[in-house]
Amino acid sequence: MRKPILPLLLAFLLVFPQPALAAVEKNETVYCLLDNNGTVKEVQVVNWAYGAPEGDSWTDYGNYSEVKNSTSSSKPKIEGNRLIWPATAFQQDGLFYQGSTDQELPFKVSIDYTLDGKPIKPEQLAGKKGKVKITIHLENLTRQQTKLSYKDYQGITLSTEKTLYTPFVFQVSTSLSAGKWKNIKSPGATQVVVGDEIQLGWMVFPFPTADITLEMSGDEIELEPFEIVALPSLSALSELDLSKLNIDGKVSPLFSGLLQLENSLDKLSSAANEIAENQKKIADGSRQLAAGLQQLEEGMQTPYDVSGQLAAGLNELSDNHQQLAQSNEQLTQQLIGFLDQYLNQYSRFMNEDQLNKLKTLKDGITQINNGIQKEKDALNKLSAAASGLNSGLGELQQGIQSLSQQTPAISSGLNELAKGQEQLADGIAAAADGVATMRNEAGGQYNELMSSLAAIDELEVLADNYKSFMDNTNNQNSKVQFLLRTEGIQMDEPKNEPLPEEQKKSMWESIINFFQRFFN
């Protein structure tokens, strides 16, 4: 029988090209044999160390139950968890060695089966008929609290703690006989038909858990093993080129502008409210003015009526006085004529005193007539003035009445205008609240984005820093990958038929032969 490590040597040489001699680096491949429920049965770790040791030895770290050198007869010196290899153990292609361990994996696999909707143990499925559902549960066990720092939308550095897991990407695959199974449902899987086989493959990123389901119907049930490759990687996000976001330093001005807009809208809303209050005050003043004008209008009625009566009385007096003036004018003319005639006839018979008296009488009559004429003119002016006063009071009353009638409409209009102004102020305030809400919500979303980006950065660090399953603290110059395989479900073979010689291989040779195809 060939040594089981030889195919591994070929696989490693195919996968990892021979490097130029440098400081020793190591590739760590963890092979896990699982039972059909996902429970770990055995773990073998195969190491390939290559490069030039510094000094006469090279130290690897890890707790192995046994260690086998696959390239030479050299053996390591074991001190606790230290494997001290002599420099002479390194061949041209490096140093290959393997060992067993019972160390817990950084993840957990569990597999559930149902037949026609009822749970069933995997060993009871062989040879059965019906609808099979297989659920593979993957759980990341590397939970850790991590402090993240990032800048918020205001440019302020914030810190928060988040639960993170060292990211592992899982590739799960199996094969089905194309003619054996019907109604195959494999959500999220790629299906490739190769000959009479259907190759199924899933890629999942449990954070911390992920489920894979496979449903199908068939008889004489047998299941090929499930193969799982796990790598510490953030490849699930590899297609997201986050550098293209290029938002550093560009968001703060946007939020500053939103804050300025919010403040401006607040000021505008306050100004609109102030205008509305002033309009209300003017409307109140207009109502008071309307009430005063109403009182003034009522108060003007009496002077208007009295002035009308005065004008009417003066007009009547003027008319009567006009008649008196005319009669007096006629009487004066007659008396003056009589006195002039009397003097012409009898003045020679009169002494000076009598003549003077007659002249004085004549002058008095003339003065009386002139006085009456002046009274007429004065009464005419007074009557005209009274009429003008009455007309002016009438026009004033009409003006006050018109103004009094229009003022309530002005007050009502101002009130409506004030209401409109208040609605405008409310609308502006609502706009300001909307901007504030938008700013806060966008700010919160931006903060969540920046926190997520910080988490992704930290996940990349965690993935890069997970270098060794056996001792991640000391094996820093290392890389690690996990290869897992279930047993598969087969119907029992007849005991009286011996296996052909070529099938008499160890379980690990079968596993190695299987995983070898990943490297071809």
Tens of pLDDT, residues 359-385: 888 888 888 888 888 887 887 887 788
Mean pLDDT, rounded, for 191-207: 94
Identify the pLDDT of residue 250.
57
Report which residue type is found at 18: Q
Residue 493 near residue 501 (C-beta atoms within 8 A): no
Instruction: Please confirm whether the linkage preceding 19 is cis (ω < 30° from 0).
Output: no
**What is the band of 517 on the pLDDT scale with cuts at 50, 70, 90?**
very low
List the structure tokens of 431. Answer: 């706009």
Q: Which burial class, exposed, middle or buried, applies to 415 when counting CB atoms under 10 A from its CB (0-12, 13-18, 19+)?
A: middle
Q: State the average pLDDT over residues 453-463.
A: 91
Per-residue confidence (pLDDT) for residue 1, from 0 to 100: 34
Q: Which amino acid is at 493?
A: E
User: pLDDT above 70 covers what percent of the chain?
Assistant: 83
- Residue 257 pLDDT greater than 50, yes or no: yes
pLDDT number for residue 438: 76
What tokens does 309 get?
């009566």
Identity of residue 81: N
Assigned fold of 253-456: Helix Hairpins (1.10.287)
What local confidence, expressed as pLDDT, does residue 441 receive?
A: 78
415-457 tens-digit pLDDT: 787 788 788 878 888 887 887 787 777 778 887 888 888 889 9
195: exposed, middle or buried (Cβ count in 10 Å: 0-12, 13-18, 19+): exposed
Do 480 and 31 form a contact (C-beta atoms < 8 A)? no
| Residue 421 to residue 279: CA distance in whole angstroms | 9
Which has the closest alpha carbon to 115: 131, 126, 128, 127? 131
d(CA 26, CA 485): 23
DSSP letter for each residue of 284-339: HHHHHHHHHHHHHHHHHHHHHHHHHHHHHHHHHHHHHHHHHHHHHHHHHHHHHHHH
Segments in 223-250 forming alpha helices (H): none
CA distance 72 to 74: 6
Q: 519: closest CA among 3, 16, 1, 25?
A: 16
State the pLDDT at residue 295: 74
3-state helix, strand, coil in the chain (%, to 5): 50, 25, 25
pLDDT digits (tens, 9 = 90+) for 90-115: 998 999 999 999 999 999 999 999 99
The reported pLDDT for the residue numbered 310 is 76
Using a pLDDT cut of 90, give the percent of the chain over it: 44
pLDDT attached to residue 369: 81
Whose structure tokens read 């003036």?
325
Residue 343 has pLDDT above 70, yes or no: yes
| pLDDT-based confidence at residue 13 (cuts at 50, 70, 90) | very low
pLDDT band at 518 (very low <50, low <70, confident <90, very high): very low
Least confident span in 63-77, 94-108, 169-183, 288-302 = 288-302
Task: Write down the pLDDT at residue 314.
Answer: 75
Distance CA 69, CA 56 (A): 18
At 267, is the secondary structure helix, strand, or coil? helix
Average pLDDT of the chain? 82
Q: Rounded CA gap, 164 and 150, in Å?
A: 16
Q: Give the distance, in angstroms, between the CA of residue 474 and the centroid of all CA atoms in the same chain.
A: 45
Residues 6+ apart with CB under 8 A from 315: 383, 386, 387
23, pLDDT greater than 80: yes
State the pLDDT confidence band at 249, using cuts at 50, 70 and 90. low
In this predicted structure, the answer to whether residue 498 has a pLDDT above a threshold of 70 is no
Q: Which of 70-84, 123-137, 491-505 has the least mean pLDDT?
A: 491-505
Q: What is the pLDDT of residues 126-155, one digit of tens each?
A: 999 999 999 999 999 999 999 999 888 778
